[in-house]
Homo-oligomer: A and B are copies of this chain.
Protein backbone atom coordinates (compact mmCIF):
# COMPACT_ATOMS: atom_id res chain seq x y z
CA UNK A 1 0.00 0.00 0.00
CA UNK A 2 2.93 2.32 0.54
CA UNK A 3 3.54 3.55 -2.99
CA UNK A 4 -0.20 4.05 -3.27
CA UNK A 5 -0.42 6.18 -0.12
CA UNK A 6 2.55 8.29 -1.07
CA UNK A 7 1.24 8.86 -4.58
CA UNK A 8 -2.19 9.73 -3.25
CA UNK A 9 -0.67 12.30 -0.91
CA UNK A 10 1.39 13.85 -3.70
CA UNK A 11 -1.62 14.12 -5.99
CA UNK A 12 -4.04 15.47 -3.41
CA UNK A 13 -1.84 18.01 -1.67
CA UNK A 14 -3.24 21.55 -1.89
CA UNK A 15 -1.67 24.87 -0.92
CA UNK A 16 -4.23 25.31 1.88
CA UNK A 17 -3.12 22.05 3.49
CA UNK A 18 0.42 23.24 4.04
CA UNK A 19 1.11 25.01 7.35
CA UNK A 20 2.37 28.58 7.01
CA UNK A 21 5.71 27.76 8.59
CA UNK A 22 6.26 25.08 5.96
CA UNK A 23 5.33 27.47 3.14
CA UNK A 24 7.85 29.98 4.54
CA UNK A 25 10.47 27.23 4.70
CA UNK A 26 9.69 26.28 1.09
CA UNK A 27 10.31 29.90 0.08
CA UNK A 28 13.63 29.83 1.95
CA UNK A 29 14.59 26.62 0.15
CA UNK A 30 13.58 28.07 -3.23
CA UNK A 31 15.77 31.14 -2.80
CA UNK A 32 18.62 29.02 -1.48
CA UNK A 33 18.28 26.73 -4.53
CA UNK A 34 18.23 29.65 -6.95
CA UNK A 35 21.67 30.72 -5.75
CA UNK A 36 23.02 27.22 -6.22
CA UNK A 37 21.54 26.96 -9.72
CA UNK A 38 23.26 30.18 -10.77
CA UNK A 39 26.51 29.09 -9.13
CA UNK A 40 26.78 26.32 -11.73
CA UNK A 41 27.37 28.72 -14.61
CA UNK A 42 30.73 28.14 -16.23
CA UNK A 43 31.40 24.83 -14.49
CA UNK A 44 32.65 22.49 -17.21
CA UNK A 45 30.32 19.54 -16.53
CA UNK A 46 27.33 21.86 -16.22
CA UNK A 47 28.11 23.61 -19.48
CA UNK A 48 28.40 20.23 -21.22
CA UNK A 49 24.94 19.18 -20.11
CA UNK A 50 23.45 22.58 -20.94
CA UNK A 51 25.00 22.43 -24.42
CA UNK A 52 23.57 18.95 -24.85
CA UNK A 53 20.09 20.11 -23.81
CA UNK A 54 20.26 23.09 -26.13
CA UNK A 55 21.62 21.03 -29.01
CA UNK A 56 19.08 18.22 -28.70
CA UNK A 57 15.98 20.32 -29.16
CA UNK A 58 16.34 23.09 -26.63
CA UNK A 59 17.40 26.61 -27.47
CA UNK A 60 13.82 27.85 -27.61
CA UNK A 61 10.79 27.20 -25.44
CA UNK A 62 8.78 28.48 -22.52
CA UNK A 63 11.05 27.18 -19.72
CA UNK A 64 14.27 29.02 -18.98
CA UNK A 65 17.74 27.57 -18.67
CA UNK A 66 19.02 29.85 -15.93
CA UNK A 67 22.75 29.82 -16.58
CA UNK A 68 22.38 30.59 -20.30
CA UNK A 69 19.19 32.66 -20.10
CA UNK A 70 17.93 30.55 -22.99
CA UNK A 71 14.54 28.88 -23.40
CA UNK A 72 13.72 25.21 -23.80
CA UNK A 73 11.02 22.62 -23.34
CA UNK A 74 10.39 21.83 -19.67
CA UNK A 75 12.15 18.46 -20.08
CA UNK A 76 15.41 19.89 -21.38
CA UNK A 77 15.31 22.97 -19.15
CA UNK A 78 14.78 20.85 -16.04
CA UNK A 79 17.76 18.68 -16.98
CA UNK A 80 19.97 21.71 -17.54
CA UNK A 81 19.01 23.51 -14.33
CA UNK A 82 19.30 20.32 -12.27
CA UNK A 83 22.83 19.81 -13.58
CA UNK A 84 23.67 23.38 -12.64
CA UNK A 85 22.41 23.41 -9.07
CA UNK A 86 24.43 20.58 -7.52
CA UNK A 87 27.97 21.44 -8.60
CA UNK A 88 28.84 24.12 -6.06
CA UNK A 89 27.92 21.75 -3.22
CA UNK A 90 25.89 24.52 -1.64
CA UNK A 91 22.40 23.13 -2.20
CA UNK A 92 20.27 21.87 0.66
CA UNK A 93 20.20 18.42 2.28
CA UNK A 94 17.76 16.44 4.36
CA UNK A 95 19.68 14.64 7.07
CA UNK A 96 17.48 11.62 7.72
CA UNK A 97 17.29 10.63 4.08
CA UNK A 98 20.77 11.82 3.05
CA UNK A 99 18.98 13.34 0.09
CA UNK A 100 19.49 16.72 -1.60
CA UNK A 101 15.96 17.74 -2.50
CA UNK A 102 16.33 21.21 -4.03
CA UNK A 103 18.53 20.21 -6.95
CA UNK A 104 16.00 17.71 -8.31
CA UNK A 105 12.75 19.38 -7.15
CA UNK A 106 13.04 23.07 -8.01
CA UNK A 107 14.39 22.68 -11.57
CA UNK A 108 11.31 20.59 -12.33
CA UNK A 109 8.95 22.91 -10.45
CA UNK A 110 10.25 25.99 -12.25
CA UNK A 111 10.35 24.40 -15.71
CA UNK A 112 6.89 22.86 -15.44
CA UNK A 113 5.34 25.98 -13.90
CA UNK A 114 6.77 28.23 -16.61
CA UNK A 115 5.51 25.97 -19.39
CA UNK A 116 2.10 25.41 -17.82
CA UNK A 117 1.60 29.01 -16.72
CA UNK A 118 1.05 27.87 -13.14
CA UNK A 119 0.83 30.20 -10.15
CA UNK A 120 3.57 30.64 -7.58
CA UNK A 121 1.41 28.94 -4.97
CA UNK A 122 1.15 25.90 -7.21
CA UNK A 123 4.92 25.91 -7.71
CA UNK A 124 5.42 25.92 -3.94
CA UNK A 125 2.81 23.18 -3.46
CA UNK A 126 4.52 21.06 -6.09
CA UNK A 127 7.89 21.63 -4.48
CA UNK A 128 6.57 20.56 -1.07
CA UNK A 129 5.09 17.43 -2.69
CA UNK A 130 8.49 16.70 -4.21
CA UNK A 131 10.32 17.20 -0.92
CA UNK A 132 7.87 15.09 1.09
CA UNK A 133 8.05 12.25 -1.44
CA UNK A 134 11.78 12.30 -2.15
CA UNK A 135 12.72 12.46 1.52
CA UNK A 136 10.47 9.53 2.43
CA UNK A 137 11.79 7.46 -0.48
CA UNK A 138 15.34 8.20 0.67
CA UNK A 139 14.50 7.18 4.24
CA UNK A 140 12.78 4.05 2.94
CA UNK A 141 15.78 2.97 0.85
CA UNK A 142 17.98 3.09 3.91
CA UNK A 143 21.66 2.98 4.63
CA UNK A 144 22.48 -0.09 2.57
CA UNK A 145 21.25 1.76 -0.50
CA UNK A 146 23.37 4.82 0.17
CA UNK A 147 26.51 2.71 0.42
CA UNK A 148 26.46 2.24 -3.35
CA UNK A 149 23.81 4.60 -4.70
CA UNK A 150 23.64 8.38 -4.78
CA UNK A 151 20.21 8.75 -3.20
CA UNK A 152 19.69 12.16 -4.78
CA UNK A 153 19.85 10.43 -8.17
CA UNK A 154 17.65 7.48 -7.24
CA UNK A 155 15.00 8.92 -4.89
CA UNK A 156 15.31 12.04 -7.02
CA UNK A 157 13.34 10.55 -9.90
CA UNK A 158 10.36 10.06 -7.57
CA UNK A 159 10.70 13.55 -6.11
CA UNK A 160 10.79 15.01 -9.61
CA UNK A 161 7.78 12.97 -10.71
CA UNK A 162 5.78 14.13 -7.68
CA UNK A 163 6.69 17.74 -8.40
CA UNK A 164 5.80 17.63 -12.09
CA UNK A 165 2.75 15.46 -11.45
CA UNK A 166 1.39 17.91 -8.90
CA UNK A 167 1.75 20.80 -11.37
CA UNK A 168 0.09 18.76 -14.11
CA UNK A 169 -2.82 18.03 -11.80
CA UNK A 170 -2.44 14.25 -11.98
CA UNK A 171 -5.01 12.29 -10.00
CA UNK A 172 -3.90 9.67 -7.49
CA UNK A 173 -3.95 6.82 -9.99
CA UNK A 174 -1.98 8.79 -12.58
CA UNK A 175 0.51 9.86 -9.91
CA UNK A 176 1.05 6.24 -8.99
CA UNK A 177 1.75 5.43 -12.63
CA UNK A 178 4.18 8.35 -12.73
CA UNK A 179 5.93 6.93 -9.68
CA UNK A 180 6.15 3.55 -11.40
CA UNK A 181 7.80 5.10 -14.44
CA UNK A 182 10.10 7.22 -12.31
CA UNK A 183 11.20 4.41 -10.01
CA UNK A 184 12.00 2.10 -12.88
CA UNK A 185 14.42 4.77 -14.16
CA UNK A 186 16.09 5.39 -10.76
CA UNK A 187 19.86 5.37 -11.09
CA UNK A 188 23.08 6.85 -9.76
CA UNK A 189 26.22 5.08 -8.49
CA UNK A 190 28.95 6.47 -6.22
CA UNK A 191 31.70 4.84 -8.29
CA UNK A 192 32.45 8.16 -10.02
CA UNK A 193 33.93 9.59 -6.79
CA UNK A 194 36.95 7.34 -7.09
CA UNK A 195 38.23 9.20 -10.15
CA UNK A 196 36.61 12.57 -9.49
CA UNK A 197 34.37 12.15 -12.51
CA UNK A 198 31.49 14.46 -13.43
CA UNK A 199 28.58 12.09 -12.72
CA UNK A 200 27.02 14.03 -9.87
CA UNK A 201 25.76 16.62 -12.33
CA UNK A 202 24.51 13.87 -14.61
CA UNK A 203 22.64 12.21 -11.73
CA UNK A 204 20.62 15.30 -10.92
CA UNK A 205 19.96 16.05 -14.59
CA UNK A 206 18.87 12.46 -15.10
CA UNK A 207 16.59 12.41 -12.05
CA UNK A 208 14.91 15.67 -13.00
CA UNK A 209 14.45 14.68 -16.63
CA UNK A 210 13.28 11.12 -15.95
CA UNK A 211 10.88 12.24 -13.23
CA UNK A 212 9.37 15.01 -15.32
CA UNK A 213 9.03 12.63 -18.27
CA UNK A 214 7.26 10.10 -16.05
CA UNK A 215 4.65 12.64 -14.97
CA UNK A 216 4.13 13.90 -18.51
CA UNK A 217 3.68 10.33 -19.76
CA UNK A 218 1.25 9.51 -16.94
CA UNK A 219 -0.94 12.43 -17.95
CA UNK A 220 -1.02 10.87 -21.40
CA UNK A 221 -2.20 7.50 -20.07
CA UNK A 222 1.17 5.76 -19.84
CA UNK A 223 1.19 3.27 -16.98
CA UNK A 224 3.84 2.22 -14.46
CA UNK A 225 4.23 -0.48 -11.83
CA UNK A 226 1.74 -0.20 -8.96
CA UNK A 227 4.30 -0.98 -6.27
CA UNK A 228 7.54 0.25 -7.73
CA UNK A 229 9.02 0.99 -4.31
CA UNK A 230 8.11 -2.01 -2.16
CA UNK A 231 7.15 -4.67 -4.73
CA UNK A 232 9.08 -7.96 -4.98
CA UNK A 233 10.88 -6.79 -8.14
CA UNK A 234 10.82 -3.11 -7.30
CA UNK A 235 13.33 -0.49 -6.28
CA UNK A 236 14.05 -1.80 -2.79
CA UNK A 237 14.25 -5.40 -3.95
CA UNK A 238 16.92 -4.43 -6.45
CA UNK A 239 18.82 -1.71 -4.67
CA UNK A 240 18.52 -2.01 -0.88
CA UNK A 241 18.85 -4.66 1.79
CA UNK A 242 17.36 -2.72 4.70
CA UNK A 243 14.40 -0.91 3.18
CA UNK A 244 11.55 -0.07 5.55
CA UNK A 245 8.16 0.39 3.82
CA UNK A 246 6.72 1.99 6.96
CA UNK A 247 8.88 5.03 6.23
CA UNK A 248 7.07 5.77 2.98
CA UNK A 249 3.86 6.97 4.55
CA UNK A 250 5.44 8.16 7.80
CA UNK A 251 3.37 11.07 9.11
CA UNK A 252 2.04 12.07 5.69
CA UNK A 253 0.20 15.37 6.11
CA UNK A 254 1.25 15.87 9.73
CA UNK A 255 5.03 15.49 9.71
CA UNK A 256 6.42 18.03 7.23
CA UNK A 257 9.80 16.70 6.15
CA UNK A 258 10.29 19.81 4.04
CA UNK A 259 10.79 21.79 7.24
CA UNK A 260 13.47 19.37 8.44
CA UNK A 261 15.73 20.23 5.50
CA UNK A 262 19.14 21.75 6.25
CA UNK A 263 20.90 24.56 4.44
CA UNK A 264 24.54 24.14 3.63
CA UNK A 265 26.97 26.60 5.04
CA UNK A 266 30.29 25.11 3.93
CA UNK A 267 30.65 24.47 0.19
CA UNK A 268 31.51 20.81 0.61
CA UNK A 269 29.95 17.41 0.96
CA UNK A 270 27.56 17.51 3.90
CA UNK A 271 29.36 14.57 5.51
CA UNK A 272 32.25 16.93 6.29
CA UNK A 273 30.15 19.63 7.98
CA UNK A 274 29.66 18.20 11.48
CA UNK A 275 33.39 17.63 11.92
CA UNK A 276 34.21 21.03 10.40
CA UNK A 277 31.93 22.80 12.86
CA UNK A 278 33.27 20.71 15.74
CA UNK A 279 36.83 21.64 14.80
CA UNK A 280 35.87 25.32 14.63
CA UNK A 281 34.30 24.98 18.08
CA UNK A 282 37.38 23.45 19.66
CA UNK A 283 39.69 25.97 17.98
CA UNK A 284 37.55 28.86 19.25
CA UNK A 285 37.28 27.47 22.74
CA UNK A 286 41.02 26.89 23.10
CA UNK A 287 42.13 29.75 20.82
CA UNK A 288 44.12 27.37 18.63
CA UNK A 289 46.01 28.45 15.54
CA UNK A 290 46.34 26.06 12.56
CA UNK A 291 50.01 25.58 13.43
CA UNK A 292 49.01 24.25 16.85
CA UNK A 293 47.31 21.22 15.31
CA UNK A 294 49.36 18.05 15.23
CA UNK A 295 46.49 15.72 14.35
CA UNK A 296 42.72 15.67 14.05
CA UNK A 297 40.65 12.54 14.46
CA UNK A 298 37.09 12.96 13.24
CA UNK A 299 34.62 10.58 14.85
CA UNK A 300 32.14 9.86 12.11
CA UNK A 301 29.27 7.70 10.91
CA UNK A 302 29.89 4.90 8.40
CA UNK A 303 28.27 6.86 5.57
CA UNK A 304 30.99 9.48 5.80
CA UNK A 305 33.65 6.79 5.46
CA UNK A 306 31.83 5.25 2.49
CA UNK A 307 31.58 8.50 0.57
CA UNK A 308 34.70 10.37 1.69
CA UNK A 309 36.99 7.40 2.24
CA UNK A 310 37.94 6.88 -1.42
CA UNK A 311 39.15 10.50 -1.72
CA UNK A 312 42.74 10.39 -0.56
CA UNK A 313 44.54 12.96 -2.70
CA UNK A 314 41.96 15.28 -4.23
CA UNK A 315 42.97 16.31 -7.74
CA UNK A 316 40.19 18.78 -8.52
CA UNK A 317 38.26 21.46 -6.70
CA UNK A 318 35.14 19.33 -6.85
CA UNK A 319 36.89 16.25 -5.49
CA UNK A 320 38.43 18.29 -2.68
CA UNK A 321 34.90 18.95 -1.42
CA UNK A 322 34.77 15.23 -0.64
CA UNK A 323 38.09 15.25 1.21
CA UNK A 324 37.59 15.44 4.95
CA UNK A 325 41.21 16.52 5.39
CA UNK A 326 40.96 19.36 2.89
CA UNK A 327 37.72 20.68 4.37
CA UNK A 328 39.10 20.66 7.89
CA UNK A 329 42.34 22.27 6.78
CA UNK A 330 40.41 25.05 5.02
CA UNK A 331 38.20 25.81 8.02
CA UNK A 332 41.20 25.69 10.34
CA UNK A 333 43.07 28.20 8.22
CA UNK A 334 40.24 30.37 6.86
CA UNK A 335 37.39 29.97 9.36
CA UNK A 336 35.11 28.59 6.65
CA UNK A 337 35.18 26.37 3.57
CA UNK A 338 33.32 28.46 1.02
CA UNK A 339 33.54 28.40 -2.77
CA UNK A 340 36.39 30.88 -2.77
CA UNK A 341 38.43 28.96 -0.19
CA UNK A 342 38.19 25.80 -2.27
CA UNK A 343 39.04 27.50 -5.55
CA UNK A 344 41.98 29.46 -4.22
CA UNK A 345 43.42 27.26 -1.49
CA UNK A 346 42.61 23.56 -1.83
CA UNK A 347 46.11 22.81 -3.09
CA UNK A 348 48.04 25.22 -0.86
CA UNK A 349 51.01 23.35 0.62
CA UNK A 350 49.85 24.27 4.15
CA UNK A 351 46.36 22.94 3.41
CA UNK A 352 47.78 19.74 1.95
CA UNK A 353 50.04 19.29 4.96
CA UNK A 354 47.18 19.70 7.41
CA UNK A 355 44.97 17.49 5.25
CA UNK A 356 47.42 14.63 5.76
CA UNK A 357 47.06 14.98 9.54
CA UNK A 358 43.31 14.38 9.51
CA UNK A 359 41.77 10.95 9.70
CA UNK A 360 38.30 9.47 10.12
CA UNK A 361 37.28 6.91 12.70
CA UNK A 362 33.94 5.20 12.97
CA UNK A 363 32.16 6.33 16.14
CA UNK A 364 29.41 4.24 17.69
CA UNK A 365 27.38 7.15 19.10
CA UNK A 366 27.63 9.23 15.92
CA UNK A 367 26.85 6.24 13.74
CA UNK A 368 23.83 5.27 15.80
CA UNK A 369 22.37 8.78 15.71
CA UNK A 370 22.90 8.94 11.93
CA UNK A 371 21.14 9.72 9.69
CA UNK A 372 18.52 11.33 11.94
CA UNK A 373 21.12 13.49 13.63
CA UNK A 374 24.49 14.45 12.22
CA UNK A 375 26.68 14.84 15.30
CA UNK A 376 30.13 16.35 14.87
CA UNK A 377 32.92 15.05 17.13
CA UNK A 378 36.64 15.65 16.79
CA UNK A 379 39.70 14.94 18.88
CA UNK A 380 42.56 17.36 18.32
CA UNK A 381 46.10 16.58 19.39
CA UNK A 382 48.13 19.78 19.63
CA UNK A 383 51.80 20.20 18.85
CA UNK A 384 52.40 20.83 22.54
CA UNK A 385 50.85 17.50 23.44
CA UNK A 386 47.36 18.41 24.60
CA UNK A 387 44.36 16.27 23.59
CA UNK A 388 41.25 18.44 23.08
CA UNK A 389 37.74 17.39 22.22
CA UNK A 390 35.11 19.31 20.24
CA UNK A 391 31.50 18.57 19.60
CA UNK A 392 28.45 20.04 17.84
CA UNK A 393 25.03 18.47 17.95
CA UNK A 394 23.56 20.44 15.07
CA UNK A 395 25.88 21.71 12.37
CA UNK A 396 25.27 25.22 11.02
CA UNK A 397 22.28 25.17 8.65
CA UNK A 398 20.34 22.42 10.44
CA UNK A 399 16.79 23.31 11.49
CA UNK A 400 17.88 24.01 15.08
CA UNK A 401 20.82 26.14 13.91
CA UNK A 402 19.38 27.47 10.67
CA UNK A 403 20.18 30.37 8.36
CA UNK A 404 18.16 33.58 8.62
CA UNK A 405 16.52 35.06 5.53
CA UNK A 406 19.30 37.65 5.50
CA UNK A 407 21.90 34.87 5.49
CA UNK A 408 20.03 33.03 2.72
CA UNK A 409 19.85 36.18 0.62
CA UNK A 410 23.50 36.93 1.19
CA UNK A 411 24.46 33.38 0.27
CA UNK A 412 22.48 33.57 -3.01
CA UNK A 413 24.14 36.88 -3.87
CA UNK A 414 27.58 35.41 -3.13
CA UNK A 415 26.88 32.40 -5.32
CA UNK A 416 25.70 34.50 -8.29
CA UNK A 417 28.66 36.81 -7.94
CA UNK A 418 31.01 33.84 -7.72
CA UNK A 419 29.92 32.42 -11.08
CA UNK A 420 29.11 35.73 -12.72
CA UNK A 421 25.65 34.43 -13.63
CA UNK A 422 23.88 37.66 -12.64
CA UNK A 423 24.64 41.20 -11.57
CA UNK A 424 23.67 42.38 -8.11
CA UNK A 425 20.82 44.39 -9.63
CA UNK A 426 19.53 41.37 -11.55
CA UNK A 427 19.73 39.33 -8.40
CA UNK A 428 17.80 41.86 -6.34
CA UNK A 429 15.01 41.85 -8.89
CA UNK A 430 14.91 38.04 -9.08
CA UNK A 431 15.08 37.63 -5.30
CA UNK A 432 12.25 40.11 -4.82
CA UNK A 433 10.10 38.05 -7.11
CA UNK A 434 11.10 34.78 -5.45
CA UNK A 435 10.32 35.98 -1.93
CA UNK A 436 6.90 37.04 -3.16
CA UNK A 437 6.20 34.02 -5.29
CA UNK A 438 3.29 32.76 -3.15
CA UNK A 439 1.28 35.70 -4.47
CA UNK A 440 2.35 35.44 -8.12
CA UNK A 441 -0.57 34.54 -10.42
CA UNK A 442 1.88 32.91 -12.82
CA UNK A 443 5.58 32.07 -12.68
CA UNK A 444 7.52 34.36 -15.00
CA UNK A 445 11.13 34.24 -16.15
CA UNK A 446 13.62 34.91 -13.36
CA UNK A 447 16.46 36.20 -15.50
CA UNK A 448 16.34 38.65 -18.39
CA UNK A 449 16.39 36.80 -21.73
CA UNK A 450 19.78 36.47 -23.41
CA UNK A 451 20.59 39.41 -25.64
Q: Which residues of A contact B (CB under 8 A)?
A: 44-45, 48-49, 51-52, 55-58, 61, 72-76, 147-149, 153, 177, 180-181, 183-199, 202-203, 206, 210, 213, 216-217, 220-228, 231-235, 237-239, 306, 310
- Do B202 and A185 have beta carbons less than 8 Å apart? yes
In the complex formed, the residue of B with least CB distance to A306 is B233
Quick one: which of B56, B177, B183, B228 contacts A76, CB cutoff 8 A? B56
- Do B199 and A191 have beta carbons less than 8 Å apart? no
In this complex, the member of A76, A147, A187, A227 whose beta carbon has the largest number of chain B beta carbons within 10 angstroms is A187
A51 to chain B: which residues have CB within 8 Å?
A: 220
A48 to chain B: which residues have CB within 8 Å?
A: 217, 220-222
- Do A224 and B198 have beta carbons less than 8 Å apart? yes
Q: Complex: how many Å from CA A231 to CA B189?
A: 10
A206 to chain B: which residues have CB within 8 Å?
A: 185, 210
- Do A73 and B45 have beta carbons less than 8 Å apart? no
Report copies per complex. Answer: 2
Q: Complex: how many Å from CA A449 to CA B238?
A: 43
Quick one: which of B197, B202, B222, B237 contacts A198, CB cutoff 8 A? B222
In the complex formed, the residue of B with least CB distance to A76 is B57
Q: Complex: how many Å from CA A1 to CA B233?
A: 31
Q: Complex: how many Å from CA A75 to CA B181?
A: 19
- Do A213 and B52 have beta carbons less than 8 Å apart? yes
- Do A49 and B197 have beta carbons less than 8 Å apart? no
- Do B148 and A225 have beta carbons less than 8 Å apart? no
Q: Complex: how many Å from CA A310 to CA B232?
A: 10
Quick one: which of B76, B195, B233 contacts A191, CB cutoff 8 A? B233
Q: Smallest CB–CB gap between A224 and chain B, Å? A: 5
Q: Complex: how many Å from CA A198 to CA B220?
A: 12
In this complex, the member of A73, A75, A180, A185 whose beta carbon has the largest number of chain B beta carbons within 10 angstroms is A185
In this complex, the member of A61, A231, A235, A237 whose beta carbon has the largest number of chain B beta carbons within 10 angstroms is A231
Quick one: which of B75, B186, B221, B222 contacts A56, CB cutoff 8 A? B75
Q: Complex: how many Å from CA A184 to CA B238?
A: 15
- Do B198 and A223 have beta carbons less than 8 Å apart? yes
A225 to chain B: which residues have CB within 8 Å?
A: 189, 191-192, 194-195, 197, 199
Q: Complex: how many Å from CA A225 to CA B100?
A: 21
In the complex formed, the residue of B with least CB distance to A216 is B52
Q: Complex: how many Å from CA A188 to CA B233?
A: 10
28 interchain pairs, CB-CB under 8 A: A48-B220, A52-B75, A52-B213, A57-B58, A180-B191, A180-B197, A181-B202, A184-B188, A184-B189, A184-B191, A184-B199, A184-B202, A184-B203, A189-B228, A189-B238, A190-B233, A191-B225, A191-B227, A192-B224, A194-B225, A194-B233, A195-B225, A196-B223, A197-B223, A197-B225, A197-B226, A202-B222, A202-B224
Q: Complex: how many Å from CA A210 to CA B56?
A: 13
- Do A234 and B191 have beta carbons less than 8 Å apart? yes
Q: Smallest CB–CB gap between A435 and chain B, Å? A: 31
- Do A184 and B184 have beta carbons less than 8 Å apart? no
- Do B49 and A75 have beta carbons less than 8 Å apart? no
- Do B148 and A233 have beta carbons less than 8 Å apart? yes
Quick one: which of B55, B57, B183, B192 contacts A189, CB cutoff 8 A? B183
Known interface pairs A188-B184, A227-B191; A217-B52 also in contact (CB < 8 Å): yes
- Do A45 and B184 have beta carbons less than 8 Å apart? no
In this complex, the member of A49, A193, A196, A217 whose beta carbon has the largest number of chain B beta carbons within 10 angstroms is A217
Q: Smallest CB–CB gap between A124 and chain B, Å? A: 25
A198 to chain B: which residues have CB within 8 Å?
A: 181, 222-224
- Do A185 and B187 have beta carbons less than 8 Å apart? yes
In the complex formed, the residue of B with least CB distance to A316 is B223
Q: Complex: how many Å from CA A57 to CA B166?
A: 22
- Do B227 and A199 have beta carbons less than 8 Å apart? no
A153 to chain B: which residues have CB within 8 Å?
A: 184
Quick one: which of B192, B195, B220, B238 contacts A52, CB cutoff 8 A? B220
A221 to chain B: which residues have CB within 8 Å?
A: 44, 48
Known pairs A48-B221, A185-B202, A202-B217. 11 more at Cβ < 8 A? A48-B222, A52-B75, A147-B233, A181-B199, A184-B202, A185-B188, A189-B237, A190-B233, A192-B224, A194-B233, A195-B223
